[in-house]
Structure 1
Amino acid sequence: MSVDTRQESASPPASGRGDPHLAALADDELRTLDAHWRAANYLSVGQIYLMANPLLTEPLRPEHVKPRLLGHWGTSPGLNLVYTHLNRVIRARGLDALCIWGPGHGGPAVVAGSWLEGSYTETYPDITRDAAGMARLFKQFSFPGGVPSHVAPETPGSIHEGGELGYSLSHAYGAAFDNPGLLVACVIGDGEAETGPLAASWHSDKFLDPVHDGAVLPILHLNGYKIANPTVLARLPEPELDDLLKGYGHDPIHVTGDDPATVHRAMAQAMDTALDRITAFRRAAREDGATERPRWPVIVLRTPKGWTGPAEVDGLPVEGTWRSHQVPLAAVRDNPEHLRQLEAWLRSYRPEELFDEDGSPRPDVLACVPEGARRLGATPHANGGLLLRELPLPPLERYAVPVDKPGATLHEPTRVLGDMVEDLMRGTTDRRDFRLVGPDETASNRLQAVYAASGKAWQAEILDVDEHLDRHGRVMEILSEHTCQGWLEGYLLTGRHGLFSCYEAFVHIVDSMVNQHIKWLRVTRRLPWRVPIASLNYLLTSHVWRQDHNGFSHQDPGFVDHILNKSPEAVRVYLPPDANTLLSVADHALRSRDYVNVIVAGKQPCFDWLSMEQARTHCARGAGIWDWAGTEDGSREPDVVLACAGDVPTQEVLAAAQLLRRHLPQLAVRVVNVVDIARLMPSEEHPHGMSDFEYDGLFTTDKPVIFAYHGYPWLIHRLAYRRTGHPHLHVRGYKEIGTTTTPFDMVVRNDLDRYRLVMDVIDRVPGLAVRAAAVRQRMEDARLRHHDWIREHGTDLPEVTDWTWDG
């Protein structure tokens, strides 16, 4: 058993209660801390096993035990220890604190702590703090109609779903950014510590501003095992682990042992030492103007896995081994010896000392618990909608590009958006509740105007050649999409706003992270006490069709497919075709709540099609006819529908429409542009979906529809497969054919080009195959001419590069 408070020279000296030589834990406080910890352990075991007899007022019988035993014991006693000691320092120091529980399998522990402090009963009034409420608390855990076994949205005080590991530390830093009075404790399981996202998250301390941000206290919980194997960090020699943590920029404080009294004393000293250092760092930065990057403390807590549980079951060691990970006694209903061991295990916590005759926690158990909103389960930072303020979004007309005639001018859509984001950042300078995050791509994605309002957050060394680095910046760049995602999620979940800018191909790196966030949003929508938070907004640019120099490795539009597989109530996908529609969509997304909004927009020069007023109307509609682009005269139905979604497909469709106007003037062509891709879905399957009546009116029931789509073509088929006109739908899109080549060659290679679209019309409109054979041949010749031209000149055909809309 040890507590190590060794300090590097860069750390301020600990003082007062934090000095282990001056701050011995009083016996009375030790007794009450242990009582709280034992009560939490008892409640954790009860949740896993019991459905009746919660206070053991009679001998335990098989029918008192759940028929299906689900849950995780192994990490729970360590989490209970952390909860107990966080209570102590929050109460003693008057802290505002939030805890991120990385070992999400420790759901019983966090629920137990919340029930003991009363926040659980305030959230769920039927789960009262008495014997009846305890019985309901136990039965509901991992039970049909109850609550999950993980730390979940249903858990008061949680902003972190425990279903997938790796994100706790980045969430903690996201919560701390722009929260200068907040302490964010983060318990990191040693299994989670092996993941790539967690490993990258340690570098977040190079972005934490001690003046404007809160503090993060990582607690690395080493209990030695995952589900079936030892963990890497738990098996490292202590000096090697120290070197690793110091290399990340932290000073480790070790707490190791299995004797409860000694561990309590050491944990109290470790907490005080860490918090004294944090206080000193903040004072030095905020009052003395210190700019040196702090070496923030990290607590390394080593306790046995399954601590205080059965030492041995069926002749095999359990406590301190992987066998305690889930349910140490698995056959309690059928095996009398297991039932006897369970009862002995529960009674070892001496519940009669912890709960009165009515089942309420006794005063000693609650002596360390803070009051009101300072309780971990009641902090408003874990229910961020309570703290959310409206963004001061500027009027879009300030940034709108003038469009007197469609297709006459060009702008880079994301550069136009960058001007709006700059003013939004400037408008939140004092309130500091908006951040722009991305993996080293802000300028590459043409959003660099934002630097005039805020530089890039950076606490490490700054050289003379560096640009836009800022100790107090709110633009966040790190070449780890996982860390960017985690930062932004933590920021949003604690009541702020943000935008994630990323290359389209590499946003896939966070596929599983956004899965968890969408699941979180879906569950919270059904919890009336969870207040809506700002949406998670993605701007995906440097997209598949304009990767001229990066080539095939940077060409993948499939994130949209991934998102549209998720809960329709929570996901939205927009493909604005020009600068003004991008402004309109971004304004809508930034105002929205409880969604994941995916916006795909180009950064290269793009034709301006719609005025700001037209863009607002079109985006509100989601999909509509561009009558100025077609050749319908209103006297008859169209012969063919040319549909498009995305900026490059829109240009190719309009170029195809122009060719058809020139070569087949008698053909009635309708042009439909889709901004909101979910509009293609039936209204009963997505809130933005169209009724069959609307869809049939737009696309017809029996006319050919040639659809040029930004991404993989089969997505459009999947969204529209139930429509009457689906047999007549032909989709062109990305077919996983890419390389480093010219912009137009990319669309030719994937059969999305204007010439191919005209050929598709001729092939699918009845009667045109013979009548327009010569036109079709000219289109094929143009494609062949393109092939030869780019190989000789290295640029696209002049008729392509110089094309403008002349309708």
Structure 2
Amino acid sequence: MAEAGIATVARPAENELALIDRYWRAANYLSVGQIYLLDNPLLKAPLESEHIKPRLLGHWGTTPGLNFIYAHLNRIIKARDENVLYICGPGHGGPGMVANTYLEGTYSEIYPDIPETEEGIQKLFKQFSFPGGIPSHAAPETPGSIHEGGELGYALVHAYGAAFDNPDLVVACVVGDGEAETGPLATAWHSNKFLTPGSDGVVLPILHLNGYKIANPTVLARLSDQELTDLFTGYGYEPFFVEGSEPIDMHGQMAATLDTIFDRLNAIRAAAKAGDLSRPRWPMIILRSPKGWTGPKTVDGKVVEGHWRSHQVPVSGCREHEAHRKILEDWLKSYNVADLFDEKGALKPELKALAPKGEKRMGAIPQGNGGLLRKELKLPDIRAYEVKVASPGAGDEQSTKILGDFLRDALTLNDAEKNFRIFGPDETASNRLQSVFEVTDRVWQAEILPTDDHLARHGRVVEVLSEHMCQGWLEGYLLTGRHGFFSCYEAFIHIIDSMFNQHAKWLKVTRDIEWRKPVASLNYLLTSHVWRQDHNGFSHQDPGFVDHVVNKKADVVRVYFPPDANTLLWVGDHCLKTWNRINVIVAGKQPAPQWLTMDEAVAHCEAGAGIWHWAGTEEEGFEPDVVLAAAGDVPTLEALAAADLLRQALPDLRIRVVNVVDLMALQSPDQHPHGLTHETFDAMFTTTKPVIFAYHGYPWLIHRLVYKRKNHDSFHVRGYKEEGTTTTPFDMVVMNDLDRFHLAIEAINRLPSLGRKGAEAIAKFEAKLAEHHAYVREHGEDMPEIQNWKWPYGKG
């Protein structure tokens, strides 16, 4: 029952439900045709072998339910003037999403070579899961989609991310019952504790229980209505059931249920507008319908409709076997194509009238192509946050704390637009970004206690202890036209490896789709990193996410290792201004030496890598004897300390120090657009001299990146080699041979001409390593000369 004072609309009459049923049949017909037909799209001739695709690909089982939902949401949009974004969680529902955007006209507008004619339908059918055509999922090519169905578990978090700061939007999210068995989806139901009524939009979850996965029943489908009610009431929802298999009855149930739900939503909106910010019990739908609904009942004597056998291609031997072809023909004819399309292949006018118009269509809604809505982020001048560096290494700063100051003011500058949020798994303050809480809070809709810190009904920081949810929310937020930032402990960003994969693939595909406008980049800050996990130990030590990232297309990914606060400011500012990228920034949060002035940092970051002339002992006109290179804040510190050791022990040695802030600069320019030219690379690293490279992560990645360079055989990389425990910061680098002593020893070993002097220096350094080993195990901290080391030479 609607709340008093809230307008309702008239329930649909039987004739309107009959029209919706015909529209649904049209979508089902087009969906089946996409899976099976190469020709004869309107069945004007008996179905022959040559009319059927040689390879039958696609999935039928979930599709009729998705079409059913789409048809009824069309009615709601028209009757109530709603803005609805449709998220298709069941990955195998691609035929339905294509069919419905074709019926509403969006598809032909975007792809004019597939008109609303018989020829257009034939092309629509042929292209599906066909070489040179389109994928079988609701992919980037599908109008209105922001969710690739190639991976299960993330539909609901994408929906909530899309709803944040979109007060006029309803996100209808269909959750497949197979998808509902995944951990991320099970957690995602709690997203309702972060949705602010009034200032955010609405998410309408529709749990699609059709009973089966690929070859097994689904867990939720085998629960009673009472168990499901208890489960989702516990999650904070008000579940409404729509159940059955008789189309006319189901249409009546669905129409009445949606009207009741939208009356509820109007009441929630009105209450929020009046100042009621208490957490509502959001409505949701549990739709029980047969898998493969309206398809063949049986094939070869085996049950198909309402069974897992309908999941993919219910009848598969249609080219070869006349009996199977007859089943397919009867199935297609059951939709009565002449009642749906005219002789020329156009949808009948009375059915065409059921679809919304213009941007109200779910395939044309701007949030489904978020780049149309993206506005440039307003950012403060990084020079206002400059850390003054009187001389290299003078003074320690927490680099991410300085970045937090910058992000605080970025939030303020964009407060009116409400288009920038920070996401993280309960680590914003831990990662030293706590300055943002000077201007905003953590958004939170559950109970708030007087002792809570920065929890509020409104807030620009979204924290929950699930990397899956943070990633999914951010993706949904970005894909609907906004900006965001994700900070995370380095070791645990691996939790979202597969989500990163899907987003990278989405961005790669959209590069070649002209109508898909660029969205803001997905920006990661990975901190609490491998080299300063001395209190958590081995379980928290893993820098391998970067290895995973660089597998993706070069035009999509970027990786940065800023060595200090000023370089981190430049990198953060740069990444937030980019679009259609995934930017990974790795930077420590602990107090650390600061090396570059802002002017130097800007020049260094714009180049991507450079020689730190002040740190070396080169003579003009001569090549160095050895190059000490570094990427990462701790490796930079150790490389500079190694340079100091060598300068003291071997004063005649010509040393060059190179720092790399943009990791992709190491790749050759034919592999990555940020790759240094071969001439620049050779001038920096030489073509013959040994390069001792101190790297933040796994050493072999550097070898992989530089393998096309002339001097790649002379690169000797030290990095993380899966050695770690709860120990001191310096002992951690020693355990992985990344410390200053090992780096200096490596350099000497690559210079046999040093002879006795080199051997004496090695003996001295090895003695220091032994002294360190004994000291930390007795005192529990690093030696004073390690803790107190500073760069002793200034810039001379």
Measured against the shorter chain, the TM-score band is: over 0.9
- Work out the CA distance in 2 between the residues paired with 1:540 and 1:733: 17
Aligned counterpart in structure 2 of residue 269 of structure 1, from 253, 256, 278 = 256
Match of 1:140 in 2: 127
- Work out the CA distance in 2 between the residues paired with 1:634 and 1:264: 83
The C-alpha deviation readout for 1:107-145, integer Å capped at 9, x for no partner, is: 000000000000001110101011011000000000000
Q: CA deviation at 1:546?
A: 0.3
The C-alpha deviation readout for 1:291-348, integer Å capped at 9, x for no partner, is: 2210000100010000000000011110000000000110000000111111111110
Match of 1:571 in 2: 557
Match of 2:515 in 1: 529
The C-alpha deviation readout for 1:14-47, integer Å capped at 9, x for no partner, is: 97657xxxx5530221121111100000000000
Q: Give the conservation status (yes or no) of the 8 Å contact 1:581–1:612.
A: yes
Q: Give the conservation status (yes or no) of the 8 Å contact 1:35–1:364.
A: no
Q: CA deviation at 1:694?
A: 2.2
Q: CA deviation at 1:695?
A: 1.8
The C-alpha deviation readout for 1:500-521, integer Å capped at 9, x for no partner, is: 0000000000000000000000
Match of 1:557 in 2: 543
The C-alpha deviation readout for 1:697-722, integer Å capped at 9, x for no partner, is: 11111111000000000111111122
Q: CA deviation at 1:367?
A: 2.7
Aligned counterpart in structure 1 of residue 186 of structure 2, from 178, 199, 206 = 199
Match of 1:389 in 2: 375
Aligned counterpart in structure 2 of residue 83 of structure 1, from 70, 89, 103 = 70
Q: Give the conservation status (yes or no) of the 8 Å contact 1:451–1:468.
A: yes
- Work out the CA distance in 2 between the residues paired with 1:145 and 1:518: 21
- Work out the CA distance in 2 between the residues paired with 1:485 and 1:378: 25
Q: Give the conservation status (yes or no) of the 8 Å contact 1:763–1:769.
A: no
- Work out the CA distance in 1 between the residues paired with 2:755 and 2:354: 83
Which runs of 5 or more residues in structure 1 are unaligned?
A: 6-10
Q: CA deviation at 1:663?
A: 1.2
Match of 1:97 in 2: 84
- Structure 2 residue matching 1:628: 3-state secondary structure: helix
Match of 2:690 in 1: 704
Q: CA deviation at 1:237?
A: 1.1
Percent identical across equivalent pairs?
62
- Work out the CA distance in 2 between the residues paired with 1:620 and 1:467: 39
- Structure 1 residue matching 2:583: 3-state secondary structure: strand
Q: Give the conservation status (yes or no) of the 8 Å contact 1:32–1:367.
A: no
- Work out the CA distance in 1 between the residues paired with 2:220 and 2:167: 31
Aligned counterpart in structure 1 of residue 533 of structure 2, from 547, 551, 574 = 547
The answer to whether the aligner puts 1:793 opposite 2:770 as a matched pair is no
Matches within 5 A, 1:102-117: 102-117=89-104
Match of 1:162 in 2: 149
CA 1:780 to 1:14, structure 2 compared with 1: closer, same or farther past 3 Å? Answer: farther
Q: Give the conservation status (yes or no) of the 8 Å contact 1:762–1:772.
A: yes
Q: Give the conservation status (yes or no) of the 8 Å contact 1:639–1:703.
A: yes
- Work out the CA distance in 1 between the residues paired with 2:269 and 2:655: 67
Match of 1:449 in 2: 435
The C-alpha deviation readout for 1:379-410, integer Å capped at 9, x for no partner, is: 11011110001111000011111112111111
The answer to whether the aligner puts 1:38 opposite 2:49 as a matched pair is no
Aligned counterpart in structure 2 of residue 49 of structure 1, from 8, 28, 36 = 36
- Work out the CA distance in 1 between the residues paired with 2:455 and 2:414: 19
The C-alpha deviation readout for 1:265-291, integer Å capped at 9, x for no partner, is: 10011111111111111110112x112
AA partner of residue 140 (structure 2): P
The answer to whether the aligner puts 1:27 opposite 2:14 as a matched pair is yes
- Work out the CA distance in 1 between the residues paired with 2:729 and 2:233: 48
Match of 1:315 in 2: 301
- Structure 2 residue matching 1:99: 3-state secondary structure: strand
Q: Give the conservation status (yes or no) of the 8 Å contact 1:186–1:219.
A: yes
Matches within 5 A, 1:353-364: 353-364=339-350
Q: Give the conservation status (yes or no) of the 8 Å contact 1:17–1:269.
A: no
CA 1:642 to 1:326, structure 2 compared with 1: closer, same or farther past 3 Å? Answer: same
CA 1:63 to 1:371, structure 2 compared with 1: closer, same or farther past 3 Å? Answer: same
- Structure 2 residue matching 1:783: 3-state secondary structure: helix
The C-alpha deviation readout for 1:671-703, integer Å capped at 9, x for no partner, is: 000011111111111111123222221111111
AA partner of residue 525 (structure 2): L
CA 1:253 to 1:16, structure 2 compared with 1: closer, same or farther past 3 Å? Answer: farther
Aligned counterpart in structure 2 of residue 247 of structure 1, from 217, 234, 239 = 234
- Work out the CA distance in 2 between the residues paired with 1:365 and 1:197: 39
CA 1:115 to 1:340, structure 2 compared with 1: closer, same or farther past 3 Å? Answer: same
The answer to whether the aligner puts 1:780 opposite 2:758 as a matched pair is no
Match of 1:505 in 2: 491
The answer to whether the aligner puts 1:740 opposite 2:752 as a matched pair is no
Aligned counterpart in structure 1 of residue 582 of structure 2, from 596, 609, 612 = 596
- Work out the CA distance in 1 between the residues paired with 2:471 and 2:480: 14
- Structure 1 residue matching 2:296: 3-state secondary structure: coil
Q: Give the conservation status (yes or no) of the 8 Å contact 1:399–1:419.
A: yes
Runs of 4+ with >4 A deviation: 11-18
The answer to whether the aligner puts 1:690 opposite 2:690 as a matched pair is no
Which runs of 5 or more residues in structure 2 are unaligned?
A: none
Aligned counterpart in structure 2 of residue 612 of structure 1, from 580, 589, 598 = 598
Q: TM-score under structure 2 normalisation?
A: 0.99
The answer to whether the aligner puts 1:74 opposite 2:61 as a matched pair is yes
Match of 2:477 in 1: 491
- Work out the CA distance in 2 between the residues paired with 1:63 and 1:786: 78
Q: TM-score under structure 1 normalisation?
A: 0.97
The C-alpha deviation readout for 1:628-656, integer Å capped at 9, x for no partner, is: 00011222100000000000000000011
Q: Give the conservation status (yes or no) of the 8 Å contact 1:13–1:277.
A: no
Q: Give the conservation status (yes or no) of the 8 Å contact 1:170–1:204.
A: yes
Root mean square deviation of aligned Cα: 1.1
- Structure 2 residue matching 1:772: 3-state secondary structure: helix
CA 1:635 to 1:588, structure 2 compared with 1: closer, same or farther past 3 Å? Answer: same
How many corresponding residue pairs?
793
Match of 2:630 in 1: 644
Q: Give the conservation status (yes or no) of the 8 Å contact 1:488–1:498.
A: yes
The C-alpha deviation readout for 1:731-750, integer Å capped at 9, x for no partner, is: 00001001000000000110
Match of 1:519 in 2: 505
Match of 2:163 in 1: 176
The answer to whether the aligner puts 1:627 opposite 2:613 as a matched pair is yes
Q: CA deviation at 1:544?
A: 0.2
The answer to whether the aligner puts 1:659 opposite 2:645 as a matched pair is yes
Aligned counterpart in structure 2 of residue 762 of structure 1, from 748, 764, 767 = 748
The answer to whether the aligner puts 1:409 opposite 2:375 as a matched pair is no
- Structure 2 residue matching 1:498: 3-state secondary structure: strand
Aligned counterpart in structure 1 of residue 363 of structure 2, from 358, 369, 377 = 377
Q: Give the conservation status (yes or no) of the 8 Å contact 1:207–1:457.
A: yes
AA partner of residue 749 (structure 2): D
Matches within 5 A, 1:2-13: none
Match of 1:8 in 2: none
Q: CA deviation at 1:364?
A: 2.4
The answer to whether the aligner puts 1:120 opposite 2:107 as a matched pair is yes
Q: CA deviation at 1:377?
A: 0.4
Aligned counterpart in structure 2 of residue 329 of structure 1, from 290, 312, 315 = 315
Q: Give the conservation status (yes or no) of the 8 Å contact 1:434–1:496.
A: yes
- Structure 2 residue matching 1:142: 3-state secondary structure: coil
Q: Give the conservation status (yes or no) of the 8 Å contact 1:14–1:277.
A: no
Match of 1:285 in 2: 272
- Structure 1 residue matching 2:615: 3-state secondary structure: coil
Aligned counterpart in structure 1 of residue 524 of structure 2, from 521, 535, 538 = 538
AA partner of residue 51 (structure 1): L
The C-alpha deviation readout for 1:763-804, integer Å capped at 9, x for no partner, is: 001312433211111100111111111111111011010111
The answer to whether the aligner puts 1:458 opposite 2:444 as a matched pair is yes
- Structure 1 residue matching 2:613: 3-state secondary structure: coil
AA partner of residue 219 (structure 2): V
